[in-house]
Amino acid sequence: MQGLPVRRIASVFVGLALILVLGVAAAWPARGAESTRKPVTITFWNWWDGDREAYMKAVIDAFEKQYPWINVESKIQGWDNLSAKIISAFAAGIAPEVMMAPRAEVLALADMGAIIPITEYVKRDKLDLSIFYPAEVNAFRYEGELWTLPLPTVTANDDFYFYNKELFEQAGLNPERPPETWSSFMAAGQKLTRFAPDGRITQLFSRMSPHMYLDFLFSNDGDIVTSDLRRQAIDSKESQETLQFMYDYAAKINGGAKQTEFLSRNNPRTGMAFMNGKEVVLFENISMMNLIIDEMKKGTMFDWGIGLIPYNDRNPRAKSTGVAARGFGWGYVIPKGLPKEKEEAAWLWVKFLTTEGTGIFSFLQGRPSPVRKFNENPEYRKLNPNWDKILRAMETDKPLPALPIIRQLTDAIINGLYGVTTASVSPTTAINNIANNVQNQLDKYWAERARKGR
């Protein structure tokens, strides 16, 4: 591994984390002049469990030092039926003053009229939104309003891939030049996929998974719906090219269903085949960094790198483009109808959490912050030799369309692509099925809005 020795990396991480946890509150002065304000308690529902509970407590302690009249009660929630739990809490009128919610649920709650936009608060406090990467803010814009801000990032999840530099070098490929285009990705796959005499894959260059469709589609200048958000774009030229590329790769490189058998033999748990040196490339989100840093501390991690999403080199408009706010792009929302003092306290907590607080919370996990300035901390580069590549990837991101039914649409797309990724269903068949499904959901959504007069 390049860079600092492993023991030094571990001590830097732990030591600096302690400094941040113990010292950050002192670095942000308390507002003594306001300490005579009437005490306010707000409840904060969140999913920051495990080690992250202590990290969030450090952020809350720093906030309460700066705003001594506000008490934040953290209530960690269970993961079962997460989406239903969030929506039903608002429907039943029992939502807390601040609710952590994935981006799809934030848009759905805004569409229901259940939460307040933060646009006016941002203007009032002169919060400079340019401190964030563009997609971090744009992901939470809906119908002319801003509804929340992110923590952790909505970027750095589907805008890069991990790769094994050592295996690249062994195959005679430049370990510092991972594939940037579809053509070079296909060529590297031919070189780095290995087969046993009986035809089984012994070394997989890269799996082809349904979730990779959005990565490749956006990097082919495509989208899943038209710009007016009313028509599906699954049958567009860009989408057809994307699915054909995925099908061809699955058939020619991975031998159709042979990747499934390979992954079953080499631990199907996310990231394990890569971590064990059996899979050369892994398209996975930034949460993999926790596993990689743990392996770095043990001294067992191979030399690894970051590549940007390959783009279609036959399309002059195509370029590497990350997908923001897919899955758990977490935001923090405030319900309508709170007493003014509670609403004000809730906003101050949301603002602090997503601006100052992210400097603690993100670093303690080795993850990038949505706020640019925190990522310039030189200690990040000591922990992660590929840090600058991750920051570059974050700048490329584009959020999925701002539709309250975006989760249903992406689920329909992903579920319809398993056959393509094993070369058992043609791209044409998959496109027809998915396009009809997506269009039916769009038609139903817009008809319901019209019925409600919105």
- Structure tokens that stand for 77 in this block: 């929630």
Instruction: Please give the Cα distance from 186 to 11 (Å, whole number).
Output: 40
User: Within the chain, how many helices (H) and strands (E) appear?
Assistant: 20, 13
CATH assignment of 6-156+326-398, among 2.130.10.10, 3.40.190.10, 3.30.230.10, 3.40.1710.10: 3.40.190.10
Q: How confident is the model at residue 327 (pLDDT cuts 50, 70, 90)?
A: low
Neighbouring-strand partners of residue 279? 204
Longest dimension (CA), the chain: 78
What integer pLDDT is reported at residue 32 of this predicted model?
Answer: 44
pLDDT digits (tens, 9 = 90+) for 109-118: 999 999 999 9
Query: In 3-state terms, what secondary structure has residue 125?
Result: coil
Please state the φ and ψ torsions of residue 134, each to the nearest 5 degrees.
-55, -45
Instruction: Please give the Cα distance from 444 to 441 (Å, whole number).
Output: 5
Cβ–Cβ under 8 Å, residues 219 and 230: no
- Most confident range (mean pLDDT) of 84-93, 299-308, 361-370 is 84-93
What integer pLDDT is reported at residue 275 of this predicted model?
Answer: 87
pLDDT digits (tens, 9 = 90+) for 100-140: 999 999 999 999 999 999 999 999 999 999 999 999 999 99
Neighbouring-strand partners of residue 305? 163
For CA atoms 11, 16, 21, 26, the dihedral sign is positive
* Mean pLDDT of all residues in 300-306: 87
Count of Cβ atoms closer than 10 Å to residue 409 Cβ? 23
**Cα–Cα distance list, 54 to 17, 123, 248, 372 (Å):** 11, 32, 47, 24
- Structure tokens that stand for 94 in this block: 């029992």
Peptide bond into 152 cis (omega under 30): yes
Neighbouring-strand partners of residue 306? 162
Q: Which residue has the tokens 């689920």?
A: 411
- Listed in sequence order, the DSSP H helices in 80-236 are 82-91, 103-112, 119-124, 134-138, 165-170, 182-192, 212-218
- Structure tokens that stand for 153 in this block: 């990032």
Please state the φ and ψ torsions of residue 36, each to the nearest 5 degrees.
-90, 0
Would you say residue 19 has pLDDT above 60? no
Instruction: Please give the Cα distance from 145 to 348 (Å, whole number).
Output: 18
CATH assignment of 160-324+402-451, among 3.30.2020.30, 3.40.50.80, 3.40.190.10, 3.50.50.60: 3.40.190.10
Q: Which residue has the tokens 């901390």?
A: 377
Cβ–Cβ under 8 Å, residues 383 and 13: yes
Provide CB contacts within 8 A for 316, sequence distance 6+.
none
Query: In 3-state terms, what secondary structure has residue 34?
Result: helix
What integer pLDDT is reported at residue 273 of this predicted model?
Answer: 87
Name the nearest CA neighbour of 103 among 349, 332, 359: 332
pLDDT digits (tens, 9 = 90+) for 141-161: 999 999 999 998 988 888 899
- Structure tokens that stand for 277 in this block: 């040196």
pLDDT digits (tens, 9 = 90+) for 241-279: 999 999 999 999 999 989 888 888 877 777 888 988 999
Write out the residue limits of the CATH 3.40.190.10 domain(s) in the chain. 6-156+326-398, 160-324+402-451
Cβ–Cβ under 8 Å, residues 413 and 438: yes
* Strand (E) or helix (H) holding 421: helix 418-421
Distance between first and last Cα of the chain: 57
Read off the amino acid at residue 264: S
What integer pLDDT is reported at residue 28 of this predicted model?
Answer: 43
With pLDDT > 90 as the criterion, what percentage of the chain qualifies? 71
* Mean pLDDT of all residues in 42-52: 94
Would you say residue 43 has pLDDT above 60? yes
What integer pLDDT is reported at residue 8 of this predicted model?
Answer: 39
Helix 103-112 and helix 406-415, axial crossing angle in degrees, nearest 10:
140
Query: In 3-state terms, what secondary structure has residue 131?
Result: helix
Per-residue buried b or exposed e for 301-338, using 16+ beta carbons within 10 Å of the residue's own CB:
beebbbbbbbbbeebeebbbbbbbbbbbbbbbbbbeeb
- Listed in sequence order, the DSSP H helices in 219-339 are 237-252, 258-265, 272-275, 288-298
